[in-house]
Structures are given as C-alpha cells and as structure tokens.
Amino acid sequence: MKWVLGVFGRKIASRRPTRLRRRIPETPPPQHFVLDVMDRMRCAALFFASLLIFSLSVPVNADEDEVEDESPFTYGSKKGPENWANLNPKWKACANGKLQSPIDLADDRVEIMPKLGTLKRAYKPAPAMIKNRGHDIEVVWEGDAGFAMLNGTEYKLLQCHWHTPSEHTMNGKRFELEIHLVHNNSLGHLAVVGVVYKLGRPDPFLAKLLETIKTTTPNHEGNFVGDVNPWDIKFGSRKYYRYLGSLTVPPCTEGVLWTIVKKVRTVSREQVSALRDAVHDGYEKNARPTQKSDLDVYMYRPGTQG
C-alpha cells in the first residue's frame, strides 16, 4: 500500500486497481426449461379461466338484447354501422366497446385450447315461427328446442337468423352467408353459435324453409311452420373458434360468448338471393364489418394434446 497526496493535500491510500473478472453466463439447468413451459401453460389456463369467469359474470339484459324492429338502423346511408352509436344514447358500445363483434378469425393469432372440449348439443324438434325483422329472417322456436353445453354451462336455443355476406371472416376471407344460433342460460347470458357458408350445393336446412321465407313480409307477426329440427343445421366439423364478444347489431351489447364452427358449409345462390329479397331493405348486405380487435381467440381441435 502506498500513501499519496490527494486533491486537498491529505494523504490517502493508493490501492492497486481491481481487475474486473468477466462473468460467463451460466446455462440454466434443464428444469428451468420445464418450469418455463409450465408457466406458459399456466398463463394459457389463466386466460381460459378469465374467459369463462367473464362470460358468466356479464349478463345481457332484456333491454340490451337485439333490436327487434330494425328500422331505427340500416346497413347503409346515414344509419349504417359507422353511425349506429350516434343514433341512440344506449348504443354507444357500437363505437366505444372493447369486445366488439364480428372479428377476423386469423389462425396465426389463435391459441389452441384442448380443454374447451367437444361442442355438445342436445337439440330437438319444436314448433317455430319464421319472422321478417326488416333486416334479416329469423326462425324463433316457441317450444323447447333443446340446448347446447358451452364452457360447462347449459344454454337454451332460442332462435336462428342469417347474415349475407358472412360477418366473421377467416384469415381475412369473407364468405357468402352466416347463420347465428342464439342461446341463453338461466342467468340471461347470451351465447351464439355461428356457421359460415360459401356458394355451392343448397343448404338442406334452408331448403325446407325457403318457400315460407319468400312469403314472410317485414313487420308481420310471422308464419308458423310447425316443428323445426335444429339438427338440420349441419356443422360438419368438431373444430371451432371461441371468444368473448358482442351482439353484431345495436345496441352492440358485450359479454356474448361466441362459437364459430371452422368448417365452411355450402349454400346455393338462389338461397342467398331469397334471404336478401325477402328483407327488402334496399341494401345488398346485412352484415356488420369486422371490428378491430385484440381479443383472445381460442380454437378447439380434436386430438390435440393439452
């Protein structure tokens, strides 16, 4: 040790400079990789649990359901989708909502979730009416048409209706038609199962109802068609997308549990035209554009390990 004069004339000890030893990064032990995978699995489980909890905690009340008389809004002009939020104070979610539907179902941002399980349906034939709401055609079951099991909860089938072209897109592609099967549970929460169609062979379900659809005028009580079997609505695949979104018409209420079957079915051009001609709203489509979304989207695919 040497003594030297400091800045203020004081003796201070001078030490040899300490050599900095380069630290070589350690390779984490194998169990760290296992823990990392487990952490990611826990995160996925947490996302799924959040989806389930949220879907069970956000009721869609009767006054927040789809507008039955669709004349207050349209799919074009100044009453079109871009202006829905300005037409009624209760429709602000159409512009400000964070869980808005429809969305693009892009495979590169979908998370495979085997725990969703097979989509279980317990449908049965029941008396039904066909109604023209002025912007779409709907089949309303007046009897017990059965239910679907979604996220472990029983949802009763209420009605189905069609949108042309499809509202949801798959990897950016829009199809000719989309049917929505609307359900609710004992707490009033809504769940919708959707199937999309491309042009091709006629759809068997529509084929049985087409003549009645053609004669059902807007703002009419509807036409009774006897028993209608929901099983005639074919899915064709066990693969499906699942996410939490909203109604696709005003008031755009959020908290709707969506299931979109991945299989694209077929429908004839005549059937698509009949649905549009029956509405007579003066617009070529009754589909809301896809909404910008960062929503978590899950997919069930049979045979996937989880």
Q: With 0-12 CB in 10 A as exposed, 13-18 as middle and 19+ as buried, what is 24?
A: exposed
Read off the amino acid at residue 179: I
Give the whole-angstrom CA distance, residue 136 versus residue 9. 94
- Say which of 32, 135, 183, 220 is annotated catalytic: 135
Specify whether the CB–CB gap between 183 and 168 falls below 8 A: no
Specify whether the CB–CB gap between 64 and 188 falls below 8 A: no
Question: SS3 for 108?
Answer: helix
Does the CA dihedral 99-105-109-112 come out positive or negative? positive
Residue carrying the six token digits 């699995």 = 41
135 counts as catalytic: yes
Long-range contact list for 19-28, CB < 8 A, 24+ apart?
none
**Is the preceding peptide bond at 114 cis, omega within 30 degrees of 0?**
no
Active site residues: 135
